[in-house]
A and B are shown apart, each in its own frame.
Chain A
Amino acid sequence: MPFIPHTEEDVAAMLATIGVPDVESLFDEIPASLKIDGLAGVPDGLSEMEVTRLMRARAAEDEGMLSFLGAGAYAHHIPAVVWELTTRGEFYSAYTPYQAEASQGTLQTIYEYQSMMTALTGLDVSNASLYDGASALAEASLMAVRANRGTKSRRVLLAAGVNPRYEQVARAIAGNQGLVFERLPLDAERGVTDLDALEGAGEAVAVVVQQPAFFGTLEPVDALTDWAKRRGALLIAVVNPTSLALLAPPGAWGADGADIACGEGQPLGIPLSSGGPYFGFMTCKQPLVRQMPGRIVGRTSDVDGTSGFTLTLQAREQHIRRSKATSNICTNQGLMVTAATIYLSLLGAGGLAAVASASAARTRELADLLTAIKGVRRRFDGAHFHEITLELDRPVAPVLAHLAASGIVGGLDLSGVFPDLGHALLVCATEARSEADLRRYARAMTEAMGR
Chain B
Amino acid sequence: MSELPGDLLYTSEHEWLRKEEDGSITVGITEYAQAQLGDLVYIELPEVGAEVEEGGEMAVVESVKAASDVYAPVSGTVVEVNGVLADDPEKVNSDPYGDGWMVRLQPEDAGTGEAMDPEAYQELLDELEA
Do A and B contact each other directly (Cβ–Cβ < 8 Å)? yes
- Please tell me which stretch of B60-68, B73-81, B118-126 contacts chain A, meaning at least 4 of its Cβ atoms lie within 8 angstroms of it: B60-68
Q: Is the CB of B44 within 8 A of A315?
A: no
Q: Is the CB of B65 within 8 A of A149?
A: no
Which residue on chain B has the smallest CB distance to residue A325? B67
Which of A149, A314, A315, A316 gathers the greatest number of chain B CB atoms within 10 Å?
A315
In chain A, residues 401-450, which have Cβ atoms closer than 8 Å to a Cβ of chain B? none
Q: Is the CB of A315 within 8 A of B63?
A: yes
Chain B contacts of A290 at CB under 8 A? 42, 44
B117 within 8 A of partner (CB): no
B88 within 8 A of partner (CB): no
A30 within 8 A of partner (CB): no
Q: Is the CB of B47 within 8 A of A149?
A: yes
Which residue on chain A has the smallest CB distance to residue B66? A320
Give the distance in Å from the alpha carbon of A149 to the alpha carbon of B49 in the complex: 13
Q: Is the CB of B67 within 8 A of A321?
A: yes
Which residue on chain A has the smallest CB distance to residue B42? A290
Which residue on chain A has the smallest CB distance to residue B44? A290
Q: Is the CB of B44 within 8 A of A314?
A: no
Q: Is the CB of B47 within 8 A of A315?
A: no
Question: What's the nearest-Cβ distance from chain A to residue B15, in Å?
Answer: 18
Give the distance in Å from the alpha carbon of A315 to the alpha carbon of B47 in the complex: 21
Give the distance in Å from the alpha carbon of A316 to the alpha carbon of B42 in the complex: 11
Q: Is the CB of A320 within 8 A of B67?
A: yes
Which residue on chain A has the smallest CB distance to residue B57? A324
Give the distance in Å from the alpha carbon of A314 to the alpha carbon of B64 in the complex: 7
Give the distance in Å from the alpha carbon of A126 to the alpha carbon of B55 in the complex: 35
Give the distance in Å from the alpha carbon of A290 to the alpha carbon of B42 in the complex: 10
Give the distance in Å from the alpha carbon of A290 to the alpha carbon of B44 in the complex: 10
Chain A contacts of B47 at CB under 8 A? 149
In chain A, residues 253-301, which have Cβ atoms closer than 8 Å to a Cβ of chain B? 290
Q: Is the CB of B65 within 8 A of A314?
A: yes
Mark interface residues in B35-52 (1 if CB within 8 Å of A CB, else 0).
000000110100100000
Chain B contacts of A320 at CB under 8 A? 65-67
Chain A contacts of B41 at CB under 8 A? 315
Chain B contacts of A314 at CB under 8 A? 64-65
Question: What's the nearest-Cβ distance from chain B to residue A326, in Å?
Answer: 11
Question: What's the nearest-Cβ distance from chain B to residue A393, in Å?
Answer: 59
In chain A, residues 137-152, which have Cβ atoms closer than 8 Å to a Cβ of chain B? 149
Give the distance in Å from the alpha carbon of A324 to the alpha carbon of B44 in the complex: 14
A315-B41, A324-B67 are known; give 17 further A-B pairs, CB within 8 A: A149-B47, A290-B42, A290-B44, A314-B64, A314-B65, A315-B42, A315-B62, A315-B63, A315-B64, A315-B65, A315-B66, A315-B67, A316-B67, A320-B65, A320-B66, A320-B67, A321-B67
